[in-house]
Amino acid sequence: MSESTESETAVAMSAGEDDAAARALSGEVISDKMDKTITVLVQRYERHPLYKKYIRRSTKLHAHDEANECRTGDQVDIVQCRPLSKTKAWRLHRIVERAR
């Protein structure tokens, strides 16, 4: 019985059902001009090691949007996945808030 449990676990992990371990980020869609791809601006705050001031840092990430449902200005959650292209290794998890 342990063999079937191990194989089921391996199949579930390879199918991508274990999203709890996947890295997740949230940000704002700044471009939706590509087909099935969005550009997400992710901002974070870091403390300067010497001056102790908090600095806003940002990163632009490409994410896969299968249904082309995101628009510029939307707040979204993205999760890390296998590389889908040279620059795209994230996929859209959900739209948190629509742009006005």
Distance CA 77, CA 25 (A): 6
Residue 64, in any domain of the structure = yes
What confidence score (pLDDT) does residue 16 get? 52
- 76 is a domain residue: yes
State pLDDT tens for residues 59-87.
999 999 999 999 999 999 999 999 999 99
pLDDT averaged over every residue in the chain: 86
CB 76 within 8 A of CB 27: yes
The residues facing 34 across adjacent strands are: 37
- What was the pLDDT predicted at 100? 86
Check residue 18 and give its pLDDT. Answer: 54
Is the CB of residue 92 less than 8 Å from the CB of residue 70?
yes
Domain assignment of residue 8, yes or no: no
pLDDT at 7: 37
Whether 43 maps to a domain, the answer reads yes
Rounded average pLDDT over 18-46: 91
Q: Which domain holds residue 79?
A: 22-97
- Say if 1 falls within a structural domain: no
Q: Indicate the DSSP class of residue 36.
A: T
72: domain CATH number is: 2.40.50.140
Q: In the block, which residue shows the tokens 């090691």?
A: 49
